Structure 1
């Protein structure tokens, strides 16, 4: 997408307004060099991102052996890096508006992260998809991230790759201890997660450290490709990682002894201010929690009206929509076996839906990407605290495919009709698809993200699939789509309920189950996720509503000149931006 000065100015008065730059101008080449330098500084702080993108080669090869420093000193170094680069960007006036916009988007992400770090606790995901007030919990921590990195992403094509893997195994132990030091600091500050989250995290960590370290997947993944490294890997696991895991478990057990059951972050130091920051970071707006809560209730009512009209012909007429959807979800016609055979069937079914949407993509996009994706099970050790699914693009060169990770802990409880829209969201034309467009941006823009844009796009992708007829002969599948949209509307209500209106966990679970008809196990996992990632759940519907609003406004403005493919291209090629900036991007159409 070519971004002009008009695009930049169109967004300059909004909530996430772009900071005015000094009058001094530099050549475009200097501006590009500055953005490149910011990207390299970022990768030194977050070296695993280079592996995720497949760019830990050549001059960056040393990054393949490293992990982020999770210690208190490491966090201070990250904040220093962010401040240094905000200053660098403040001193930059690019000769062209496109580069200038890139710089301002990066600055917005960095300044938001710095506001998060200023609270002095938790885990801040710089320009990423979630923030948490807790250093380690059921869905946050090195014990999740590093296992996934080494088993699924770290390349093992050469002996040097194997040696880098061994270096990262050792660094993993150090990362665990760095987190543990911050855990103890959090305990001293009174930043203690609720007991029900700690119970899950402790159980998962115990699962991760269980058994003979020589048989851990961290060891066997390397040994399968390089048997001569098995003994060294097993020794690192036994002598360094196992004790580090035990120290982290002990720190969490200490917190558990002092934990209560209050779910929301309002109980934490500066908790109300923390929630407003988390909500702002996730939605890229400053919308009031009461307004967001009300939007969720209104959208849920509209969606349930559409669901009611589809449920009645299927014979589901009694009770509320949520209750009827739960009954539909228990209908054996739509369920898989609850074993490995069921897991294989679910993966194959999701793959079939990817194949079904591909021929329809030319109707939606004028400049399509490849959409390289594979469907994989979330690692079993991660499943108890993980969401139902997540996805993202692979490496820049396509050698590592995009991944649609799905939680198959209990395959017998996953209704078939929920999977088509889930596949659209996580794979194509959702996260994997959008991520491939982001790969075309300057490197620092590829590395950073805004949840409202990315999750809003994924919900919009679900809508696009419906509009091109994916459910034309599948009323249950369309119910799954509407249920997923209603689920995201309900998230607005539950997230603000927990953290702003001081709902209890049980209150949130009960309301959520009644409103959406989701299975109790899934409801608990979702509510606990919002407890650990305040604000993030609101990004989905806020982002989607804004994209839909912009489309309606563009269609009204252009009339017969409106082109659906041109609009979709404009939104997806813009890459992750604050939602206010996106309004300026689509304002260029015509």
Structure 2
């Protein structure tokens, strides 16, 4: 049965929560809370606690592994097949409890929370009924492959221990070692499921296996040499003056248990490599068409077909390139298609960063400068402001080869873990001065970090459940807001970067559905990006690989943004002079992370309340 796990990005994005901050003004929508809410709210709290227990890492990343939950600080999630059966059983039981709630007399917010649970759990259980892979419960990352270039404990756990597990005391250090001792069990739990999938005929594409083997080799070498797993606890206990033989104890676990477990995964992937082909799409795998239909539904929270997704991407791409053409002409790029001209722009030295570590520092500084400009205009877009507590961090060397250009999300509820903007700096050529401002808007502010800081004002279960179409749709809408607020008025090339980014997400609709439903090759996917959008070939190679390992996920972005825009146009039409951008944005973000049909009901309620105000 597929696994339930929350990777780093799910922890910081799907488990979005804020850093230390005062109470958010106007953070609670103005709905009455009748006494009949109490039983339903208590049941929702119970469901939330059940889900949190299944993911101890999430409790730590949220900063809620204290008091009665303190035992979670020394545990890791169960990645065995038995662990996944337990998750499915919990979801089935709690979905029955949620369905038994009479919502007719509940307040709007509580009724919305019940609807969110019903939707997330129903979709997840449909995924668990399929014969393989990982299922995200109210999250964004569903994958048919247990371990691959961007999936697996070999990526998630070392990074989690280093960045999210706190070490402030001896008990924290002991909890770190307890978790480290469980890490080899996570690896072997995955190993058994990898073997079971191979027995059913599910083998990843050979090009993904090759990339994964390279990354596992880096992880193996690092673990042998006392890398992140040993260095993190050694450094931090020394900084805090916590006496003990932490380095020796961590090294013993790493070398005697983690190293052999990593080697066993490498051996399994080598066995899979002998059976692998270069076919990228799910259509060629057992139950592949069924899996892709479900993955699209989970990603978009709609019933769009692969053909509908494909056509939507082509149509919106044409519209966006129609907006890019005059800007390109205005700066002297007049020859060739929009894609060809964007390729030429990418070679312009004015917009490149230096090579090596000098360029990496330039990138970090540039991000900080652009985020400061964005922060200055946000009061014009929101009545309810949040701090956007943020830290820019480089991805780990083990992760960078198989990772996208960046990702991000909010930090912990207690503020001890700041929001992160993780940037891939394996090469400074991945980024340009005209594309980074938009990337910062998407991953950080007012995108994932910003949106995440509202979620902790909701009940626990709402903090834990997120939906790809909402999370990524909001992040694209955040890019749009930055442009609408005039940040690029004096930087037209920056506006090109924004439009190319949105067009890039249209290409995702085309390429994802092309790979998994229309039998495209990997190279066809790469070529479409480069030729149609002028994308960086180095970046899009990893992008296309990502679609191969996370089918459907990339389609949630544009579907979500298009829904938010459609609902905004509806609000403008129905409210007329009463429409206000700040009130609309508050309605979207304060209503929480929801499926698209629930978002529509939230906006209908906002419109109705505004009409009578």
- Provide the TM-score with structure 2 as the length reference: 0.91
Q: CA deviation at 1:413?
A: 3.9
In the TM superposition, what are the counterparts of 1:346-385 in structure 2 within 5 Å? Answer: 346-385=363-402
Of the three residues 66, 70, 76, the one matched with 1:67 is 76
Structure 1 residue 174 corresponds to structure 2 residue 185: yes
Q: Is the 8 A contact 2:223 2:229 kept in 1?
A: no
Aligned equivalent of 2:596 = 579
Q: Is the 8 A contact 1:404 1:426 kept in 2?
A: yes
**C-alpha separation between the residues in 1 aligned to 2:422 and 2:430?**
17
Aligned equivalent of 1:200 = 211
Q: CA deviation at 1:352?
A: 1.1
**C-alpha separation between the residues in 1 aligned to 2:580 and 2:348?**
41
**C-alpha separation between the residues in 1 aligned to 2:100 and 2:257?**
45
Aligned equivalent of 1:33 = 42
Structure 1 residue 264 corresponds to structure 2 residue 281: yes
Q: CA deviation at 1:101?
A: 2.0
Change (3 A) 1:26 1:278: farther
Change (3 A) 1:212 1:280: closer
Q: Is the 8 A contact 2:316 2:506 kept in 1?
A: yes
Aligned equivalent of 1:161 = 172
> Higher relative contact order at CA 8 Å, sep ≥6: structure 1 or structure 2?
2
In the TM superposition, what are the counterparts of 1:82-231 in structure 2 within 5 Å? Answer: 82-93=91-102, 95-97=105-107, 98-211=109-222, 213-226=224-237, 228-231=245-248
**C-alpha separation between the residues in 2 aligned to 1:219 and 1:60?**
26
Q: CA deviation at 1:28?
A: 2.4
Aligned equivalent of 1:416 = 433
SS at match of 1:417: coil
Change (3 A) 1:211 1:290: closer
Aligned equivalent of 2:14 = none
Q: CA deviation at 1:565?
A: 0.3
Of the three residues 390, 412, 418, the one matched with 2:407 is 390
Q: CA deviation at 1:4?
A: 5.9
SS at match of 1:405: strand
Aligned equivalent of 2:575 = 558
For residues 357-400 of structure 1, the C-alpha deviation after alignment (integer angstroms, 9 at most, x for no partner) is: 11211100001111111111111110000111111110012221
Q: Is the 8 A contact 1:387 1:525 kept in 2?
A: yes
Aligned equivalent of 1:252 = 269
Q: How many residues align?
A: 572
Q: CA deviation at 1:2?
A: 3.2
Q: Is the 8 A contact 2:441 2:475 kept in 1?
A: yes
The Cα RMSD (Å) is 1.5
For residues 181-219 of structure 1, the C-alpha deviation after alignment (integer angstroms, 9 at most, x for no partner) is: 000000000110000000011110011011563521111
**C-alpha separation between the residues in 1 aligned to 2:131 and 2:534?**
38
**C-alpha separation between the residues in 1 aligned to 2:143 and 2:380?**
39
- Name the stretch that deviates more: 117-126 or 184-193: 117-126
Q: CA deviation at 1:30?
A: 2.1
Structure 1 residue 275 corresponds to structure 2 residue 292: yes
Q: Is the 8 A contact 2:530 2:536 kept in 1?
A: yes
**C-alpha separation between the residues in 1 aligned to 2:223 and 2:306?**
48
Q: Is the 8 A contact 1:279 1:534 kept in 2?
A: yes
Q: Is the 8 A contact 1:180 1:247 kept in 2?
A: yes
Change (3 A) 1:231 1:419: same
Aligned equivalent of 2:485 = 468
**C-alpha separation between the residues in 2 aligned to 1:332 and 1:28?**
60
Aligned equivalent of 1:22 = none
Q: Is the 8 A contact 2:56 2:77 kept in 1?
A: yes
Q: CA deviation at 1:308?
A: 0.9
**C-alpha separation between the residues in 1 aligned to 2:376 and 2:566?**
27
Aligned equivalent of 2:54 = 45
Structure 1 residue 484 corresponds to structure 2 residue 501: yes
Q: CA deviation at 1:77?
A: 0.8
Q: CA deviation at 1:27?
A: 4.0
Q: Is the 8 A contact 1:93 1:100 kept in 2?
A: no
- Structure 1 residue runs without a partner (length 5+): 6-24
In the TM superposition, what are the counterparts of 1:434-449 in structure 2 within 5 Å? Answer: 434-449=451-466
Aligned equivalent of 2:585 = 568
**C-alpha separation between the residues in 2 aligned to 1:341 and 1:56?**
39
**C-alpha separation between the residues in 2 aligned to 1:584 and 1:4?**
14
- Provide the TM-score with structure 1 as the length reference: 0.95
Q: Is the 8 A contact 1:425 1:461 kept in 2?
A: yes
**C-alpha separation between the residues in 1 aligned to 2:540 and 2:487?**
27
**C-alpha separation between the residues in 2 aligned to 1:326 and 1:544?**
26
**C-alpha separation between the residues in 1 aligned to 2:147 and 2:183?**
14
Change (3 A) 1:388 1:230: same
- Name the stretch that deviates more: 339-348 or 85-94: 85-94
- Name the stretch that deviates more: 277-286 or 579-588: 579-588
Change (3 A) 1:211 1:532: closer
Aligned equivalent of 1:530 = 547
Q: CA deviation at 1:544?
A: 0.3
Give the 4+ runs in structure 1 shifted more than 6 A.
Answer: none
Q: Is the 8 A contact 1:214 1:220 kept in 2?
A: no
Q: CA deviation at 1:292?
A: 1.2
Change (3 A) 1:276 1:544: same
SS at match of 2:436: helix
For residues 422-444 of structure 1, the C-alpha deviation after alignment (integer angstroms, 9 at most, x for no partner) is: 00000010000100111111011
Structure 1 residue 328 corresponds to structure 2 residue 345: yes
For residues 224-255 of structure 1, the C-alpha deviation after alignment (integer angstroms, 9 at most, x for no partner) is: 12253110000000011000000111111111
Q: Is the 8 A contact 1:3 1:585 kept in 2?
A: no
Q: Is the 8 A contact 1:339 1:412 kept in 2?
A: no
SS at match of 1:375: strand
- Structure 2 residue runs without a partner (length 5+): 1-27, 239-244
SS at match of 2:504: helix
